[in-house]
Amino acid sequence: MSEGPVLLIEEVAPHVVQVAFNRPAVRNAIDTATMVAMRDFFAPLEFTPGELRCIVLTGTGDKAFSAGGDLKERNGMSDAQWRLQHAIAEEGAKAIVDCPVPVIAAVNGVAFGGGCELALCCDFILAARHARFALPEVTRGIMPGGGGTQNLPRAVGERRAKQLILTGAPFSAEEALGWGMVNEVCEPAELMPRAYEVAAQIAGNAPIAVRQAKKAIHYGLQGDIHTGMLFEIQAYERMIPTEDRLEGVRAFNEKRKPDFRGL
């Protein structure tokens, strides 16, 4: 049993929340309780993001983001039990992908299996230099089931993703950076300050505009360029009647920082 909350959720800056896996004794392995907590935090945000403007997802400690699914808990599960537990994990992963609020993964150590998949579900990844990644599921008789077979090839290309998933081989933060999976590699002590800095930059922008831009990128990439451009215009139209659009123009002309309120 885990001691204390399996997720630590705290506001680290105005409109910015940090969500941290909190099972450091087992390298933040994801048990059923963690899956439920992840789903229950992220799922409501799809339609009610409230005042939240950016989320930083990380792990407690300096050794692991998350080592993936808790195989000790899974040992001896029946097919029905495994299927039910995995359904919760799928719901949590989908909730991150569908979250309108930008989610930054700050990978502070090992991100294997489901941990790697959840990082890939985020909008982008910042990683500590010592971080290591892997999708080793095929070495355990299963396969990635939290978006890994979809998100990894979208990040690194089909052929690279096939090699990584079919071998289950680990790879470094520097390799992930070179392949386009990781956006930045930081020294360990600089990772969280950098993640907070980027989150604050996002949170300082007009929240409706940020959410619409994220939506246009995500859904536009699912189709052809012409469909994507039509979707972009529809997303753009959402901002024309907003107070934030008026505030942005006023602030520019008055040479001051805008005060965006999400209205």
Q: How many whole angstroms separate alpha carbon 110 and alpha carbon 170?
A: 10
Left, alpha or beta for 61 (phi > 0: left; psi -120 to 50: alpha)?
left
Location of structure tokens 């939506």: 215
pLDDT value, residue 3: 65
In this chain, the answer to whether the domains covering 7-203 and 207-253 adopt an identical fold is: no
pLDDT value, residue 131: 98
Task: State the architecture of 207-253 in CATH terms.
Answer: Orthogonal Bundle (1.10)
Domain boundaries of the chain, sorted by first residue? 7-203, 207-253
- pLDDT tens for 42-79 read 999 999 999 999 999 999 998 999 999 888 888 888 99
pLDDT value, residue 72: 85
User: Helix 148-156 vs helix 114-121: angle between axes, to the nearest 10 degrees?
Assistant: 60
pLDDT value, residue 1: 42
pLDDT value, residue 263: 94
Tokens of 239: 């901002």
What's the predicted TM-score (pTM) here?
0.94
pLDDT value, residue 2: 43
Residue ranges for the chain with pLDDT beneath 50: 1-2
- Active-site positions read 117, 137
Burial of 33 (0-12, 13-18, 19+ CB in 10 A): middle
The domain made up of 7-203 has a fold known as: 2-enoyl-CoA Hydratase; Chain A, domain 1 (3.90.226)
Burial of 245 (0-12, 13-18, 19+ CB in 10 A): middle
- pLDDT tens for 225-242 read 999 999 999 999 999 999
Question: Within 10 A of 103 (CB to CB), how many other CB atoms are there?
Answer: 23
Q: How many whole angstroms separate alpha carbon 170 and alpha carbon 135?
A: 7
